[in-house]
Amino acid sequence: MTKKRDIHVVPHDEGWATKKEGAGRAGSVSDTQKDAIERARDQARREHVEVVIHRKDGTIRDSDSYGNDPNPPKDRRH
């Protein structure tokens, strides 16, 4: 089974971009990080992948899984 490519929210010359892992170009560009995150989450829900949110310096700020997470949080009890 091939791994689906996660969606990253990254800084862009024109604001913030969504970019699939391994892609050469941005999928979409937004003025604000908030708008880019919303677009990435919508796409991740459809594709059942993870959203990885970066800071302006490129480091990872946060991530959210919208698929079958192989490593769910251990602090949540079902």
pLDDT reported for residue 67? 76
pLDDT reported for residue 21? 93
Distance CA 24, CA 15 (A): 17
| Residue 22, in any domain of the structure | yes
| Residue 40, in any domain of the structure | yes
| Residue 75, in any domain of the structure | no
pLDDT reported for residue 71? 64
Number of separate domains in the chain: 1
| Residue 32, in any domain of the structure | yes
Distance CA 57, CA 61 (A): 10
Distance CA 75, CA 10 (A): 28
Q: What is the mean pLDDT of each run of 10 residues along the chain (78 residues)?
A: 83 96 94 97 95 96 82 58
pTM given for the model? 0.82
| Residue 1, in any domain of the structure | no
pLDDT reported for residue 26? 94
| Residue 73, in any domain of the structure | no
Domain, as residue range, for 43 = 7-63
| Residue 18, in any domain of the structure | yes
